[in-house]
């Protein structure tokens, strides 16, 4: 991905913003401090931001805010699920916007970050200038069934799914999310980490299946891995705290702003039906489906498409 990106930009001293209930969120601020603000919303939930992600944006035009959501990345306390719900994250975004004196900002979200961007835009439409959504996750029952159930991705990767589901006692396998949640939140850290690793490896297999030349690594260190999976299972168990307000039912509350939806046709984490459905639900939205591309931001075609999307918006957005 490196050769496709803008050069590294200067970063202000990281902000560790107190958002209440014992949480501090880490905010890294790049680019033009008087430029149009971009709020980068990472996935997971729980993944945190990577510093090179600011390089997707023209640093002469944009002020890029990489924000680690509650319990994620460099935010503290790591892996904390107390007072950590979607509504808390939405309030944190407003707290940050108010703290920085930002009137409107572009929301840039991938996977769970796209979910969060849509919910925020439905809740606070007047402060959103545009949306750029990658690998959209709509958090519907069918999306969870695809990823965790026996009739979805499991049919494509049966060996990997068996490694994921097989260690769970048979009487618990109808609720794998609950089974994993109980174990990764258990009192023994070593046992919890073992289960977290299994959860991570299943997701990694589904996300990276199309990258034959990808260098395999060990993934996050044990501490970060457990923190991430604790947050992921917490949100999944609670159906992402969307309650009785599914994302698609709230489309009419979105602001009339540019919406760009970019999705890999080979995405098996969030199959591209979600992007297609969302595009047809949002009048005037722009959909770009990328052949031979999966779920990950780092895939060259995905990186290029997202840079093009934010470059196009430079002449459209005003503060």
Which one of 72, 75, 111, 285 is the catalytic residue?
111
Which one of 58, 267, 279, 285 is the catalytic residue?
267
Q: Is residue 267 annotated as a catalytic residue, yes or no?
A: yes
Taking the alpha carbons of 183, 185, 190, 196 in that order, is the dihedral positive or negative? positive
The set of residues, in sequence order, having a beta carbon less than 8 Å from that of 280 and lying 6+ positions away, is: none
Q: Is residue 295 annotated as a catalytic residue, yes or no?
A: yes
Q: Is residue 298 annotated as a catalytic residue, yes or no?
A: no
Instruction: Please state, in angstroms and rounded to a whole number, the distance separating the CA atoms of residues 256 and 260.
Output: 12
Q: Scanning the structure block, which residue is given the tokens 């572009």? A: 106
**CA 295 distance to own-chain centroid:** 11
Instruction: Please state, in angstroms and rounded to a whole number, the distance separating the CA atoms of residues 68 and 46.
Output: 8
Partners of residue 106 on adjacent β-strands: 38, 130
Instruction: Please state, in angstroms and rounded to a whole number, the distance separating the CA atoms of residues 96 and 307.
Output: 25
| Closest of 70, 91, 89 to residue 81, by C-alpha | 70
* Strands 105-110, 259-264: pairing kind: unpaired
Query: Element (H or E) spanning 134, and its range?
Result: strand 128-134
Instruction: Please state, in angstroms and rounded to a whole number, the distance separating the CA atoms of residues 80 and 65.
Output: 22
Active site residues: 111, 267, 295
């Amino acid at each position: 991905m490196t050769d496709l990106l803008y050069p590294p930009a200067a970063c202000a001293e990281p902000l560790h913003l107190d958002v209440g209930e014992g949480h501090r969120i880490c905010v890294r601020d790049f680019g033009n401090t008087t430029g149009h603000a971009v709020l980068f919303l990472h996935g997971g939930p729980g993944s945190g931001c990577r510093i090179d992600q600011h390089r997707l944006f023209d640093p002469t035009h944009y002020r890029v805010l990489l924000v680690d959501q509650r319990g994620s990345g460099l935010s503290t306390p790591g892996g904390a699920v107390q007072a950590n719900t979607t509504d808390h994250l939405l309030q944190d975004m407003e707290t940050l916007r108010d703290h920085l004196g930002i009137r409107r900002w572009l929301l840039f979200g991938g996977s769970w970050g796209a979910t969060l961007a849509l919910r925020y835009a439905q809740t606070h439409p007047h402060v959103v200038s545009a949306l750029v959504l990658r690998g959209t996750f709509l958090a519907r029952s069918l999306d969870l069934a695809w990823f965790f159930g026996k009739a979805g991705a499991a049919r494509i990767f049966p060996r990997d799914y068996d490694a994921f589901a097989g260690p769970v006692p048979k009487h618990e396998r109808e609720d794998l999310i609950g089974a994993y949640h109980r174990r990764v939140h258990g009192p023994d850290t070593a046992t919890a980490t073992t289960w977290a690793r299994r959860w991570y490896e299943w997701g990694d297999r589904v996300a990276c299946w199309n990258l034959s030349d990808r260098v395999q690594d060990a993934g996050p260190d044990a501490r970060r891995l457990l923190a991430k999976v604790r947050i992921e299972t917490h949100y999944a168990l609670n159906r992402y705290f969307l309650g009785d307000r599914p994302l698609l039912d709230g489309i009419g509350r979105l602001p009339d702003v540019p919406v760009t939806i970019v999705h890999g046709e080979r995405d098996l984490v969030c199959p591209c039906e979600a992007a297609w459905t969302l595009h047809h639900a949002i009048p005037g939205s722009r959909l770009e489906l990328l052949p031979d591309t999966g779920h990950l931001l780092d895939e060259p075609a995905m990186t290029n498409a997202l840079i093009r999307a934010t470059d196009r918006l430079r002449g459209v957005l005003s503060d």
